[in-house]
Amino acid sequence: MKIKLSKSDIDGALVTQISKVSGEDFKQCYQCGNCSGGCPVSYAMDIPPSQIIRFLQLGRFELVMEANSMWVCVGCLQCYSRCPKGVSAANILEAARQLSLRKGTDHERIEDLPVSFLKTAPQQAIVCGFRKFVS
Amino acid sequence: MLKIPYYPGCTLSTVAKEFDTSAKDSAIKMGFEIEDLPQWNCCGATFPLTPDNIMGLTAPAKVLAGAEKAGDTLTTLCSVCYNVLKRTNRVLKDDKEKLSTVNEFMEEEYAGGVEVTHYLEVLRDQIGFTKVTEAVSRPLKGVKTAAYYGCMLLRPFEDMGIDRAEAPTIMEDLLKALGATPVFFPDRVECCGAHLAMDKPDIVSKLSGNVIDSAAREGAEIIVTSCPLCQYNLENTQAESGSALPIVYFTQILGLALGQDEKTLGFEKNKFSPLALLRYKELL
Amino acid sequence: MSRIGVFICQCGTNIADTVDTEKVAEEMKKIPGVVHTQDYKFMCSSPGQKMLKEAVKKHRLDGMIVSACSPHMHEKTFRRACESAGINPYMCEIANIREQCSWVHHDKTKETGTVKSLDLTRMTIERLKKNQPLKPNKIPVNKRALIIGGGIAGIQAALDIADGGREVLLVEKTPSIGGNMAKLSETFPTMDCSQCILTPKMVEAELHENITLMTYSEVEKIEGFIGNFRVTIRKKARYVNEELCTGCGDCWDKCPFKQDSEFEHGLKKRKVIYTPFPQSVPNIPVIDAPNCAMLQKGKCGVCAKVCGPKAVDFEQKDIVVEEKVGAIVVATGYDLMPNEHFGEYGYGRIKDVINGLQFERLASSSGPTGGKILRPSDGKEPQSIVFIQCAGSRDEKKGVSYCSKICCMYTAKHTMLYRHKVHDGQSYVFYMDIRSGGKRYEEFVRGAIEKDGAMYLRGRVSRVYEKDGKVIVQGADTLSDSQVEIEADMVVLATALVSRPGADTLAQKLGIGYDKHKFYNEYHPKLKPVETVTAGIFLAGTCLGPMDVPESVAQGSAAASKVLVLTSSDEMIKDPTTAIVNDFTCNACWDCVVACPYSAIEKTDIKDREGNVIRRLAHVNDGVCTGCGTCVAACRSKAIDLKGYTDEQVYAAINAF
Amino acid sequence: MSQENTEETQATETTETFEPKIMAFVCNWCTYAGADLAGTSRMEYRPNVRIIKLPCTGRIDPLFIIKAFENGADGVLVSGCHPGDCHYTAGNYHAKRRWIAFRSLMEFTGIDTRRLQFSWISASEALKWVDLINNVTDEIKALGPFMDFKNLKG
Ligand SMILES: Cc1cc2nc3c(=O)[nH]c(=O)nc-3n(C[C@H](O)[C@H](O)[C@H](O)COP(=O)(O)OP(=O)(O)OC[C@H]3O[C@@H](n4cnc5c(N)ncnc54)[C@H](O)[C@@H]3O)c2cc1C
Ligand SMILES: Cc1cc2nc3c(=O)[nH]c(=O)nc-3n(C[C@H](O)[C@H](O)[C@H](O)COP(=O)(O)OP(=O)(O)OC[C@H]3O[C@@H](n4cnc5c(N)ncnc54)[C@H](O)[C@@H]3O)c2cc1C
Ligand code: SF4
Ligand code: SF4
Ligand code: SF4
Ligand code: SF4
Ligand code: SF4
Ligand code: SF4
Ligand code: SF4
Ligand code: SF4
């Protein structure tokens, strides 16, 4: 990948917005990779958490929004708990989800879920899932 | 008798009823009572991770407002409820502005006067594990029991503070008090996959599978948890993979040790009941 | 040697458990020359030592063996006891029957330990028979010190030594002391202004009654050894009489010719008669002779005409002086790697690609732009600057293999200075690693990133080129796996620190070691960090390798303390274990001279009464010799021996085996 | 073991009961201190070695080694500071060069070079010292007594 980097990218509006929504300052992250190292699902992400933050540092908002990472993140807070800088990748991915959902596009539809799941699963799973995946 | 206001939450009122009843019955055996809040609503089952999402705080805030009327502490059992209520409470206590915004959306105002505790904390800090041991009539001698904490009971540490986030012992200490042999296994604070059960079952199988393998390798015979979603994910994964460790709520094991009739403990709902094992060990 | 006493220590039960000390004492009595033997519970205790002394008197001993713990433990104790009993301390030898016998052979029957103790004691006795009384060498110490190099390290060393009451001669090659630190704008990690903290020290050095400054001077030759060096110094002609000059500046105001200023790294011109910078110490100009119209072509002389006190002196010549000093501190500092190393970065070709010290000058309020960050090509304020770290460092192929250690820090500093001066400017830093070990250093770098918004990119820059008035930088960000291109207004290279040109020549004159990068070698990197293998010569600052100001200052002080220790007494006592040449058998093959790692052996001439050289001989300088014995093994004529470890002594021990 | 009774016993010795005599030339700063440390740490090793301490391996004259063999050594050990660690900066380099030359000389004179061993042992390598002594003792034991020089001296 080739990036042309300029001040307007780094301070881009969308990046600023995701920073505001998540409450996280991307500059804090020093790219140690602990979050990606501990994230139980980074193996299934298009872009692992630390690199998500890297792209945001570089102003590459669109890459973050295209990746599946935010939908795979399970919100376990492993990343945040162990981050030496107290940066929460979880918050950042949640913010990405929020920005996507707040546009009104749902990530999941209740109709698509298996009936067996809906019948047996603990309520909390369904409630939580809908909070994460539906606007 | 000491009465503590208690928030059951959706799942414990339905799918995980046995968690609720075993805890209530056990409490009585130990000389206290947990009492349902007269009125409650779903906590939302997820703490909003973006600070600008104030709406996400209103549901748990309502619970807290209700609890405030019942007393100054509120106890819970489900790890997720505990997490959501405790973190919300913290935010509202620390951020007066947020508190007043949230109050604008509620009929009853919350003043910030509730302390959220987990049933485990009640046992450890208010009752004391030695008292628990005294109440034990059926020690679980030699039962190798693994405590699975998962995420929500512990993280983030600065908000939850129930125990050390990476090396907790509260459940193992309880197990010891019950006469069981706690099994410390590496994956006990790793994630089970949680709500991904909804649309990414393969991820859940993998994560929960890791947890079970990790416990099994250390010789666990039973796994206990305090989260219905963990219980669900672990049990389902096992059903798929063909291993057969009983995965139960810690209160069910507690009930057994306190000598409750095993028929009241709801093991029939488990895919793999621990009763056969306990009988084999001549503990029943 | 006839009357030897042998004392066998039991060390409580430490020795006695596995060695039959009584038997050893008995057996040793049978050896010719041994007149007294005794075993005892604790030889090193006061009663034990008293016993030794009494035995010396009673049995009229002239040598003794103590079979006890390792000589590393109590050799000194027993030799002192000997001395106070009136025999030469070097007539006392230790047989190590504890660490190397009783403690490593656990045979409770005592058979093993006893047999070995017998052997060890006997070998030591035979050796002792060949011992000669030795006298520690006493070397007179000249209390003056020479400092070579007047950067911050040298200045610090000079001030500390001078404050300690010793005379100091500070020799600086350029017209002013101050070194590289004088060029810095503000300094990490506290961001205080470099001039503000350095100038007072420079002035103090100039005014200190114990310090003699010799600027515009160089050391040409060094002879002698610790405590007794003779140094030849060339004081280059300044063409200005230092006594008369008042530093008024009329001369350089009027001089019609200009040259690039070395101090400003070409960002500004200076006159042909000049001081390097306004705060120069001494504030006395020099004439840049090769460029002076008067000195080259005999036309001009403007400076001389305008000089009120008539200080300009075109007739001045270099002066060569010889000075005697007892100790030398070398603090000759560093240079930045020269430009030609950075073809792909366009240094020297693209005007807006500069190095770190040039940036310091741009940022300095006394610099060519008065502290405004303006790019050299068109004097415009750059809206974006790319900093390239490890330029030349950590580049085994084209540059140097080592890390220059301070460039991570000064680059972070530069981004801060830039942000403070150009508020909406964006800086980018390409780095391989960020090395900010040190008190408050990591926090400093994080401040540059988190507070001052420097964009750090993990990767090296591959090339830099010009396009439409912009400097295009092409590099990588390995963290995002991407190739990165930045259109910058200016590029600053965090150029490698290298040793001074000529560092090797100076080292050879001094007889000190240097590594392949021509940084000077410390005696021991951990335990003797400011000493050299040549006794009496110490090191400080960046001539040892890259380091920052705090470290350079610490080393200056450390070297000073070493000098003060050395000059604390009039004489130096040295261990008598030194080599000695037999004048009759030496055939002047110089094998020993080559072998000696300390250059302790001199080639000397034996002259007859008329002064004709009749013979040449090796001669060991006791002041320098460390007693390693390498020369002895090298000499094929067996003409050189090591006192305390003579061939005779060693063979005696072997023969007793 | 005094010289007399060594010779006495040797006559009747079989390889099993043969206890070799080993002479070690070591430098004062590294190996001697390492051997001391083995003692301080109460390690145990074979008792066959006798140490001669020298300031530096650079002091070791090849003739010392020959002399040791002449005097009944069945094996000789030379040990000093690791390259680069020499207390005297370079003494051990000189020593090394000398030994290399000496080894070929040994080969030439027909002495089994296994009887002469070189090693670098630092002041902290007590364990290495112990292993070295044990191994060398075993090896020399296997080679049997060294008779050539003794006979010569006879
Ligand atoms: C761009 C840049 C920024 C820096 N910023 C900082 C900072 O913010 N903070 C910090 O702590 N450090 C900083 N440093 C490092 C700092 O410059 C050095 O640590 C310090 O100047 C070293 O001092 P020194 O006395 O060892 O050497 P030098 O300053 O090099 O002094 C050596 C002196 O010896 C003289 N000399 C050389 N050879 C001879 C000879 N043969 N005879 C007589 N005299 C001789 C030289 O002329 C010179 O005056 C920076 C370095 C660079 C390159
Ligand atoms: C794992 C590790 C590996 C290392 N490896 C290396 C290496 O390979 N190379 C290297 O150069 N460095 C290494 N170091 C660094 C090295 O250990 C230190 O630089 C060095 O030991 C510091 O010595 P010191 O004298 O400053 O402090 P210390 O060694 O801590 O000594 C301080 C002494 O003061 C005593 N003391 C403390 N308070 C008081 C008091 N109030 N009154 C009286 N006495 C007191 C303490 O008991 C102690 O004996 C390593 C460090 C670590 C942790
Ligand atoms: S753990 Fe924290 S600092 Fe490290 S990469 Fe992740 S977010 Fe950045
Ligand atoms: S919260 Fe999300 S990103 Fe963080 S560790 Fe858990 S799954 Fe990974
Ligand atoms: S002299 Fe050495 S061996 Fe003897 S008692 Fe003292 S410490 Fe022990
Ligand atoms: S040389 Fe003369 S004119 Fe120049 S500074 Fe000195 S006194 Fe002034
Ligand atoms: S004589 Fe030389 S230094 Fe003086 S003014 Fe002329 S050119 Fe300048
Ligand atoms: S200090 Fe930093 S910039 Fe300088 S060479 Fe080392 S790693 Fe590179
Ligand atoms: S090696 Fe021996 S003979 Fe040769 S110069 Fe030195 S002392 Fe004289
Ligand atoms: S003993 Fe060592 S230092 Fe002394 S002269 Fe000989 S080789 Fe040089």
Q: Does the CA dihedral B149-A44-A89-B53 come out positive or negative?
A: negative
Q: For the segment B232-255, what is each residue's pLDDT rounded down to a tens digit? A: 999 999 988 888 999 999 999 999
- Say how far apart CA C359 and CA C336 lie, in whole Å: 13
- pLDDT at position D14 is 52
- Say how far apart CA B260 and CA B271 lie, in whole Å: 21
Span from the CA of C333 to the centroid of ligand 1 (angstroms): 5
What is the token pair recorded at B13?
Answer: 């009122």
Q: Please name the helix (run of DSSP H) or strand (run of DSSP E) that holds residue C421, with its range, or none.
A: helix C407-421
Residue D150: pLDDT above 70? no
Q: For the segment A15-73, what is each residue's pLDDT rounded down to a tens digit? A: 999 999 999 999 999 999 999 999 999 999 999 999 999 999 999 999 999 999 999 99
Q: Higher pLDDT residue, D88 or B276?
A: B276
Residue C156: pLDDT above 70? yes
Q: Give the closest residue (by CA) to ligand 3 atom 8.
A: A29
- pLDDT at position D10 is 46
- Cα D65 from chain centroid? 9
Residue C552: pLDDT above 60? yes
DSSP type of residue B264: G
What is the number of alpha carbons within 13 Å of residue B109 lying toward its C-beta?
Answer: 8
Q: Give the closest residue (by CA) to ligand 4 atom 2.
A: A73
* Sequence-distant (≥ 6) Cβ neighbours of residue A68 within 8 angstroms: A44, A45, A46
Mean local confidence (pLDDT), C64-75 = 95
**Is there an atom of ligand 1 within 6 Å of C171 CB?**
yes
DSSP output for C4-64: EEEEEE-TTTTTTTTS-HHHHHHHHHTSTTEEEEEEES-TTSHHHHHHHHHHHHHHT-SEE
State whether residue D140 is helix, strand or coil.
helix
CB of C537 within 8 A of CB of C312? no
> What CA–CA distances, in Å, run from C448 to A27, A60, C511?
10, 22, 44
* Sequence-distant (≥ 6) Cβ neighbours of residue D115 within 8 angstroms: D69, D74, D75, D76, D140, D143, D146
State whether residue C492 is helix, strand or coil.
strand
DSSP type of residue C459: S
Residue C46: pLDDT above 70? yes
The residue of chain C with its CA nearest to that of A1 is: C482
The minimum CA-CA distance between A84 and chain B, rounded to whole Å, is 13
How confident is residue D152, by pLDDT bands cut at 50, 70 and 90? low
Span from the CA of C340 to the centroid of ligand 8 (angstroms): 19
CB of B140 within 8 A of CB of B277? no
Q: Please name the helix (run of DSSP H) or strand (run of DSSP E) that holds residue D127, with its range, or none.
A: helix D126-143
The minimum CA-CA distance between A118 and chain C, rounded to whole Å, is 40
State whether residue C164 is helix, strand or coil.
coil
- Say how far apart CA B197 and CA A116 lie, in whole Å: 12
Residue C55: pLDDT above 60? yes
Residue type present at position C291: N
Which residues from chain B sit within 8 angstroms of residue A98, using beta carbons? Answer: 50, 53
State the helix-helix crossing angle for B250-257 and B170-177, rounded to 10 degrees: 20
C598-633 as b/e: b if 16+ CB within 10 A: bebbeebeeeeeeeeeeeebbbbbbbbbbbbbbbbb
How confident is residue D91, by pLDDT bands cut at 50, 70 and 90? low
- CB-nearest partner of C479 from A6, A7, A31: A31
User: Bridge partners of C283?
Assistant: none
State whether residue C213 is helix, strand or coil.
strand
Mean local confidence (pLDDT), B253-270 = 95
Mean local confidence (pLDDT), C149-164 = 98
Residue C533: pLDDT above 60? yes
**Nearest ligand for residue C388 CA:** 8
- pLDDT at position D3 is 44
User: Bridge partners of C325?
Assistant: C229
C-alpha Rg value of chain B to the nearest Å: 18
Mean local confidence (pLDDT), B118-147 = 97
Residue D83: pLDDT above 90? no
Span from the CA of B211 to the centroid of ligand 4 (angstroms): 17
- Say how far apart CA B29 and CA B24 lie, in whole Å: 9
Chains A and C in direct contact, meaning 3 or more beta-carbon pairs closer than 8 angstroms? yes
Q: Give the closest residue (by CA) to ligand 4 atom 5.
A: A39
- pLDDT at position D60 is 86
Q: For the segment C180-214, what is each residue's pLDDT rounded down to a tens digit? A: 999 999 999 999 999 999 999 999 999 999 999 99
Residue C583: pLDDT above 70? yes
User: Is any Cβ of chain C less than 8 angstroms from the Cβ of A86?
Assistant: no
Q: What are phi and psi of C618, to 5 degrees?
A: -80, 145
Ligand 6 atom with the smallest distance to the CA of C252 is 4
User: Bridge partners of C64?
Assistant: C5, C92
DSSP type of residue C529: T
- Say how far apart CA D62 and CA D122 lie, in whole Å: 22
- For chain B, domains (ranges, CATH) are 2-119 (1.20.1050.140), 129-280 (3.40.50.11810)
Burial class of residue C248, CB neighbours in 10 A (0-12, 13-18, 19+): middle
CB of A108 within 8 A of CB of A135? no
- Say how far apart CA C163 and CA C186 lie, in whole Å: 28
User: Bridge partners of C476?
Assistant: C483
**Is there an atom of ligand 3 within 6 Å of A18 CB?**
no
**Is there an atom of ligand 3 within 6 Å of A85 CB?**
yes
Q: What are phi and psi of B68, to 5 degrees?
A: -60, -30
A97-114 as b/e: b if 16+ CB within 10 A: bbbbbeeeeeeeeeeebe
Q: For the segment B86-121, what is each residue's pLDDT rounded down to a tens digit? A: 999 999 999 999 999 999 999 899 999 999 999 999
- Say how far apart CA C213 and CA B233 lie, in whole Å: 81
- Say how far apart CA C298 and CA C290 lie, in whole Å: 12
- Cα C1 from chain centroid? 45
What's the pTM value of the predicted model, to 2 decimals?
A: 0.83
Q: For the segment C296-355, what is each residue's pLDDT rounded down to a tens digit? A: 999 999 999 999 999 999 999 999 999 999 999 999 999 999 977 788 998 888 999 999
- For chain D, domains (ranges, CATH) are 19-143 (3.40.50)
- Say how far apart CA A20 and CA C384 lie, in whole Å: 25
Q: Does the CA dihedral B88-B89-B95-B96 come out positive or negative?
A: positive
CB of C439 within 8 A of CB of C189? yes
Q: Please name the helix (run of DSSP H) or strand (run of DSSP E) that holds residue C486, with its range, or none.
A: strand C482-488
- Picking from C432, C479, C489 by the largest number of A CB atoms within 10 A of its own CB, the best residue to mutate is C479
- pLDDT at position D86 is 72
| Closest alpha carbon to C510 in C62, C259, C255, C149 | C149
- CB-nearest partner of C100 from D51, D60, D89: D51
Residue D151: pLDDT above 70? no
Q: What are phi and psi of C221, to 5 degrees?
A: -150, 145
How confident is residue D13, by pLDDT bands cut at 50, 70 and 90? very low
How confident is residue A103, by pLDDT bands cut at 50, 70 and 90? confident
Which residues from chain B sit within 8 angstroms of residue A23, using beta carbons? Answer: 50-52
| Closest alpha carbon to C347 in C187, C460, C464 | C464
Helix and strand element counts for chain B (H, E): 13, 8
**Nearest ligand for residue B192 CA:** 4
How confident is residue D16, by pLDDT bands cut at 50, 70 and 90? low
State whether residue C220 is helix, strand or coil.
strand
- pLDDT at position D6 is 45
- For chain A, domains (ranges, CATH) are 7-103 (1.10.1060), 106-135 (no CATH)
- Picking from B55, B195, B207 by the largest number of A CB atoms within 10 A of its own CB, the best residue to mutate is B195
DSSP output for A56-87: HHTT-HHHHHHSSHHHH-----HHHHH-TT--
| Contact across the interface for A122 and B196, Cβ inside 8 Å | no
Q: What are phi and psi of C97, to 5 degrees?
A: -105, 10
- For chain C, domains (ranges, CATH) are 4-129 (3.40.50), 144-333+533-566 (3.50.50.60), 335-498 (3.50.50.60), 575-656 (3.30.70.3270)
The proportion of chain C whose per-residue pLDDT surpasses 90, expressed as a percent, equals: 89
How confident is residue C511, by pLDDT bands cut at 50, 70 and 90? confident
Residue A85: pLDDT above 70? yes
Ligand 8 atom with the smallest distance to the CA of C432 is 7
ipTM of the complex as predicted:
0.82
How confident is residue D8, by pLDDT bands cut at 50, 70 and 90? very low
Residue type present at position B63: V
CB of B76 within 8 A of CB of B119? yes
- CB-nearest partner of A2 from C446, C458, C483: C483
Q: Give the closest residue (by CA) to ligand 5 atom 4.
A: C11
Residue D9: pLDDT above 50? no
- Picking from B49, B207, B236 by the largest number of A CB atoms within 10 A of its own CB, the best residue to mutate is B49
- pLDDT at position D20 is 94
